[in-house]
A and B are shown apart, each in its own frame.
Chain A
Amino acid sequence: MTDNTIAQPEAAGMNFEYGENQKMVADMCRDFAEREITPFRREWDETQEFPVPLFKKMGELGLMGVLVPQEYGGAGFTYFEYVAAIVEISKADGAIGLSMAAHNSLCTNHILTFGNEEQKKKWLPKLATAEWIGAWGLTEPNTGSDAGNMKTVAKEDGDHYVLNGAKNFITHGKSGNVAVVIARTGETGDSHGMTAFVIEKGTPGFKAGRKEDKLGMRASETTELIFEDCRVPKENILGKVGEGFIQAMKILDGGRISIAALSLGIAKGALEASIAYSKERQQFNKPISSFQGIAFKLADMATKIEAAELLTYQAAALKHAGKPMTKESAMAKYMASEVAVEVSTEAIQIFGGYGYTKDYPVEKHYRDSKLCTIGEGTSEIQKLVISRALLK
């Protein structure tokens, strides 16, 4: 097991250890995952079940509103505890970590960051306690990385906007009770031509479409969202008309820290399983960990994980300090997600034939990890973001 040495730059300099709160949050999540997630993860994975009751329990613990201030029913913690929580939950099950991340840092955080007081009071207490589960819709079938060219339109009609179009690859599209949706209110190609709306389940003309059958992250529900003459009152607009895309990019900056944490969790889960297995598995009358071919793999895996962890906490520290962190969060997400794929691939190699079976968890880590290099901005988009920051 890698120990919890991570970067949390503090006023007095650099402190590479978890703070007391982070440790307690990590312990709490580990205990919770052992009891409530690990025993069921294989079943959820096989049946693609999105375990709603689990998220209600996570809501009771405060895991669904980690960043939401206590006055709105949240836990009121910082990105440091948030990252620690996502890492621990994702070690047990990346799909649950993904849903937790999407709920916290996309939907809930969008309302928290850009909602007015009335909107925050209306939706945050329900979201922070997981009474409601949140979804967030930016991507469309033909505009993934090119989100600015979205086709979903919102036309003004009196004191409403009428939405038409579809979003896809939306986490909690079906089970979510509320969604933040970005739709076009201006000209195609105009980054100021999009607006963020909050849409509650049950609004006429708003429904979930097909549920995706995925390679990994199967317990995390992914569906289409469909809008057919869906009338949304103007009071559900977050911020100003025309700001939706700009807001979404800012939300994604923070979201990348979540996905980096999710990637770290998956990688650490794969490493821990590999260390345990390599000490038990005997070949030629020795544990395979005594062979350098295996031991060096473990060394590489652990080193990459710690490097990714340092980048992640650097981004979290900047976010916490309210400083710009677009480049740093992109670096963290890019690095951590690629590391998750590399580490879980090596984990299967260490497990050999057994790693290729569903009797051991590393094949799931492997399948789950691949989403991390794609969701909330592909690795290529991260490199674009990083290079633009370097070249501007």
Chain B
Amino acid sequence: MKILVCITHVPDTTSKISFSDNNTKLNSAGVQFIIGPYDDYALARAVELKEASGGTVTVLNVGEADTEPTIRKALAIGADDAIRINAFPTDSYFVAQQIAAVAKEGNYDLILMGRESIDFNGGMVHGMVAEMLGLPSVSPVMKLDIDGGKATLSREIEGGKETLELNLPFVAGCQEPIAEWKIPNMRGIMSARTKKLEVREPAQAETKTKLDNYELPAPKGEVKMIDKDNVDELVRLLKNEAKVI
């Protein structure tokens, strides 16, 4: 089985976010970058599937050269090889086109990624990729088992959980508890250096969005504690101060 796992290169969740260039760029000074946590689950499950029934795991990232340490980490975790599309991931549509181009050539049985990145949180790429390839798309997948050419998976839906059977190939956006995050071992780290990391130039693709600028959310106000017996005061504050009711 050939599995393609698409990973994002995103700021660590504890990073302090600020912007440069007139608020049009993330200021990456001092920011630690990681594999997108949801992508990390997808990768962990892909490696488990490979270990259980053979096959290969290829990781794919759309990003500039600074994403390579993140890709190497994915290789250390257990992916067999990697492809980096040498382009800044401008928006979901652009990224999806790049992934679709790689997927068309590679003939993968399964395309996994996180249900969303944690920088822009668009959650659209898996759906777009599936549409471009004419494949089914499922998200957020919390359980995934493969038996021959058939997959059993379950996902969260509004108010409940759905269990599906699906023929390969398909595209899935993953989240916990599909697998436990894997910590690379020393051998994995050593072998990651010699695994193939192919750099490809981007396919011709459109960007459908134009960025004006970024801004940070307003700082959170102070917490007001209201006595549990004083419901009237709570309602008054929610209405007049928080203006949410």
Chain A positions near chain B (C-beta within 8 angstroms): 3, 20-21, 23-25, 27-28, 31-32, 35, 60-63, 66, 70, 75-77, 81
**Measured between alpha carbons, how far is A13 from B189 in the docked complex, in Å?**
25
Given A20-B72, A24-B73, A32-B183: A76 and B190 interface contact (C-beta under 8 Å) = yes
How many chain-B residues does the 8 Å CB contact rule pick out? 15
Select one of B187, B192, B193 contacting A70, CB under 8 A. B187
A21 contacts B190, CB within 8 Å?
A: yes
B76 contacts A60, CB within 8 Å?
A: no
Select one of A61, A70, A77 contacting B183, CB under 8 A. A61
Smallest CB-CB A-B distances: 9 pairs: A62-B186, A75-B186, A61-B185, A24-B189, A62-B185, A31-B183, A32-B183, A28-B184, A28-B183
Q: Which residues of A contact B76 (CB under 8 A)?
A: 24, 28
Q: Which residues of A contact B73 (CB under 8 A)?
A: 24, 27
The answer to whether B69 has its CB under 8 Å from any CB of chain A is yes
**Measured between alpha carbons, how far is A28 from B181 in the docked complex, in Å?**
12
Q: Which residues of A contact B192 (CB under 8 A)?
A: 24
Q: Which residues of B contact A25 (CB under 8 A)?
A: 186, 189
Residue of A24, A32, A61 with highest tally of chain B CB at under 10 A: A24
Chain B positions near chain A (C-beta within 8 angstroms): 30, 69, 72-73, 76, 181, 183-187, 189-190, 192-193
Residue ID in chain B nearest A34 by CB atoms: B183
Q: Which residues of A contact B187 (CB under 8 A)?
A: 62, 70, 75
Question: In the complex, what's the smallest C-beta–C-beta distance from B41 to chain A, in angstroms?
Answer: 14
B186 contacts A63, CB within 8 Å?
A: yes
**Measured between alpha carbons, how far is A31 from B184 in the docked complex, in Å?**
10
Residue of B183, B187, B193 with highest tally of chain A CB at under 10 A: B183
A-B contact list, 5 entries, CB within 8 Å: A28-B76, A61-B186, A62-B185, A75-B186, A81-B186
**Measured between alpha carbons, how far is A24 from B195 in the docked complex, in Å?**
15
Select one of B30, B72, B181 contacting A24, CB under 8 A. B72
Residue ID in chain B nearest A31 by CB atoms: B183
Question: In the complex, what's the smallest C-beta–C-beta distance from B107 to chain A, in angstroms?
Answer: 31
Q: Which residues of B contact A60 (CB under 8 A)?
A: 185
**Measured between alpha carbons, how far is A21 from B189 in the docked complex, in Å?**
7
